Amino acid sequence: MSTNLESYVTKETEIQHATGVDESLNPKTEESRTVGPVTYAFMWIGDGVNLGNMTLGASLIVAGAATLNIFQTLAAAAIAIGIISTFFALNDRLGYRTGVPYVVQLRMSFGLKGSIVSSLLRGIPAIVWYGFQSWIGGTALNEIAKVVTGGSFDNVVICFVVIQLVQIVLSMYGFHAIAWVETVASVVIMLALIYVFGVLLTSHSDVVVEKWVHAKGSWGLPFFAFIMMFMGNYAAIFLSAADYSRELKTGISDTKRGFLYFTPILIAYGFVLTIGAMLASATGNSNPVKAFAIVVDNPYITVGVSAFIVLGVIAVNMVANIVPPTYVITLLTKLKYKSAVTITGLLALVSFPWVLVQDSSAEGLGLFILIYSAFLGPIVSILLIEYYVLRKQKVNVADLYKEDGPFAGYNPCAILAMLIGAGAAFLKVELAWIIGVVVAGIAYILLTKFAFKDSKFKKGTIFEK
């Protein structure tokens, strides 16, 4: 799998212990990678089968009418997932080949000090979403408790704390526990969804066909807007792709890794979106939780739906919202992994997610998402330009860990390109991610070539004198 250069720099990094970081951030060795392709695929299935993605599908039905029909929906999904998988496979390559995490990958473009800002732009939103998702899970857990206790127990805060503590304990066991939880969650949730899908087909097929399958829909702006919503859902995750690929067993080609993203995401995302659209079509209700209760006439439906939500919340958090900020905290504080993952959970616990779910703050939450999303496109663009165009996939990994090495300090070209890309993205927030990718990529190449001529960050690039 690895080239001679990659094997050499990895061994060199292991020999040099003056890295100044916790061992969890050192390059993963071939022996320490125990996550196989099947487990890896199930991990992404578990991440895809959640209530948020189902709500995205339900959002296609507005006032009883579908903005996209089934063919347009699936076409948009396929295009978006194809783009997502491509960016995943491209951005995961450095992490997969060398074993470095995302926070260390950032040093290649932004420098040791510059990477602090760019890593926080990924870590802080993840912590907020960690708390937000856990609050939803706590609310669902409270519904289960009320049914079980006959209404004598009703305390969302306690349930929120319980579910958060469970996630902290699970995540302390490292990526292997995350992969295990994802595998179990994906199987259980998929079985539940298959049951609901069967109910919809047997009892509500006529109205689903009328309102969604045969809808006129649109191949215009709503079609492309839906693709953008897809991209926004995964933008933060494939930005830190190295955090996941470094755990995957060696010997898997770039093409096969691309399919390890495309296939499970297509299965999970496509299936969940379809059910979300079918539920909204059959019930006229775009809230999947309420739609479930209408479609499945069962006195224990509250418990079933709530259990699904709890499991889905844990699955999503374990993949998307725990690992990236934990590595950021480890990098900035020099703490051990278990201490950092605990702090991540506690920060999510005090992120005031109950404020975010109030109607009065919904607009603020939307603004928060737009603000941080505008930076994600520029950052991934800069990383890909750096690795593939400027350095031709040749990086001395040992240099990334040297406090006084060639990547010390910050790279002004990367910082400026990120700000330029984000500024352009704000001009048209509906297309923020794509605009940021294109503008930041062009800006980074031009700045690296023509500006800061004495910058040490040109060393090893095609613009080195």
- pTM summary value: 0.80
Q: What is the pLDDT of residue 146?
A: 86
* In the predicted structure, residue 236 carries a pLDDT above the cut 90: no
* Stretch 32-43: mean pLDDT: 87
pLDDT in tens, 177-205: 666 766 676 677 777 778 888 888 888 88
SS (H, E, C) the chain: CCCHHHHHHHHHHHHCCCCCCCHHHCCCCCCCCCECHHHHHHHHHHHHCCHHHHHHHHCCEECCEECCCHHHHHHHHHHHHHHHHHHHHHHCHHHHHHCCCHHHHHHHHHHHHHHHHHHHHHHHHHHHHHHHHHHHHHHHHHHHHHHHCCCCCCCHHHHHHHHHHHHHHHHHCCHHHHHHHHHHHHHHHHHHHHHHHHHHHHHCHHHHHHHHHCCCCCCCHHHHHHHHHHHHHHHHHHHCCHHHHCCECCCCCHHHHHHHHHHHHHHHHHHHHHHHHHHHHHHCCCCHHHHHHHHCCCCCHHHHHHHHHHHHHHHHHHHHHCHHHHHHHHHHHCCCHHHHHHHHHHHHHCCCHHHHCCHHHHHHHHHHHHHHHHHHHHHHHHHHHHHHHHCCCCCCHHHHCCCCCCCCCCCHHHHHHHHHHHHHHHHHHHHHHHHHHHHHHHHHHHHHHHCCCCCHHHCCCCCCC
* Stretch 308-331: mean pLDDT: 82
Q: What is the pLDDT of residue 327?
A: 86
Mean pLDDT of the chain, nearest integer: 82
Domain(s) of CATH 1.10.4160.10: residues in the chain: 36-100+121-357
* In the predicted structure, residue 18 carries a pLDDT above the cut 60: no
* Stretch 122-143: mean pLDDT: 84
pLDDT band at 176 (very low <50, low <70, confident <90, very high): low
* In the predicted structure, residue 423 carries a pLDDT above the cut 80: yes
pLDDT in tens, 361-412: 344 555 566 677 788 889 999 999 999 999 999 999 999 998 888 999 999 9
Q: What is the pLDDT of residue 271?
A: 86
Question: Domain spanning 36-100+121-357 has what CATH number?
Answer: 1.10.4160.10
pLDDT band at 25 (very low <50, low <70, confident <90, very high): confident
* In the predicted structure, residue 38 carries a pLDDT above the cut 80: yes
pLDDT in tens, 68-89: 888 888 888 888 888 888 899 9
* In the predicted structure, residue 160 carries a pLDDT above the cut 50: yes
* In the predicted structure, residue 134 carries a pLDDT above the cut 70: yes
State percent of the chain over pLDDT 90: 28
